[in-house]
Amino acid sequence: MLAVAVGGALGAVVRYALIQWLEKRAQPFYMATFIVNSVGSFLMGMALHLFQSSVMLALFVTGFLGALTTFSTFAFDTVRLLKINRHKAIIYMLLTLIVGFGCIVLGYKIR
């Protein structure tokens, strides 16, 4: 439990810092979610090979990556974007899913 809590705290802080950094650079609100979900998917694929210990899996995958990446924010951003521009929302949704799956496969294949 402690490993999940520590990893989760770190992942949440990294995600929040990235959101703040991108907002200062006038990036669209959904860009941070896209980046963390893509990077997190890649790292999760790599974690399948890197970590054999259940404590490290709990710390890094469940804790850190679980807090860094977020499906609920992806869904929330998609709904917000649908209200602004339906075409961009559909592209965002499809790109997030395709890139996310591609990143996890790529991360898994890299050894």
Q: What is the pTM of this model?
A: 0.90
The pLDDT tens digits for 73-87 are 999 999 999 999 999
User: Is 78 among the annotated ligand-binding positions?
Assistant: no
Which domain does 48 fall in, by range? 2-109
Q: How many CA atoms lie within 13 A of 9 on its CB side?
A: 5
Half-sphere exposure of 91 (CA within 13 A, CB side): 6
- Average of pLDDT values for 39-66? 93
Q: Domain count of the chain?
A: 1
Burial of 59 (0-12, 13-18, 19+ CB in 10 A): buried
**Residues above pLDDT 90, as percent of the chain:** 92
66 carries a ligand binding annotation? yes
